Amino acid sequence: MKFYLVIIFCVQSLNSPLDQSCVLEPIYEPYETVSDCLAYVDNFRYSLRNNKDLYISGFCTQKDYDAI
């Protein structure tokens, strides 16, 4: 089984509707461990650290695509 990432982008904006503040984006690149997956989230967040109103988080989930 591999780990996959769903990355979450949220923008702090006084003018945006609440239901349009965040976007979820699945990343289909598999990771061997949850630690590798979380490290990708940290590196991605660090690469966009200069965007003051952009907040990034992620969810790592384990999937067995052979069983689906």
* Alpha-carbon gap, residue 24 to 15, rounded angstroms: 20
Helix (H) or strand (E) holding 19: none
The reply to whether 8 falls in a domain is yes
pLDDT for residue 67: 55
pLDDT for residue 65: 73
Q: What average pLDDT score do residues 34-39 get?
A: 95
Q: What would the two tokens of residue 39 be?
A: 């490290």
Domain tally, the chain: 1
pLDDT for residue 68: 53
pTM of the model: 0.80
Q: What average pLDDT score do residues 38-60 get?
A: 93
Question: How far is the CA of 22 from the CAs of 8, 50, 56, 60, 68, in angstroms?
Answer: 7, 18, 9, 17, 29
pLDDT for residue 39: 96
The reply to whether 33 falls in a domain is yes
Provide the residue range defining the domain that includes 33.
Answer: 2-63
The reply to whether 68 falls in a domain is no
The reply to whether 47 falls in a domain is yes
The reply to whether 31 falls in a domain is yes
Residue 54 DSSP symbol:
E
pLDDT for residue 64: 86
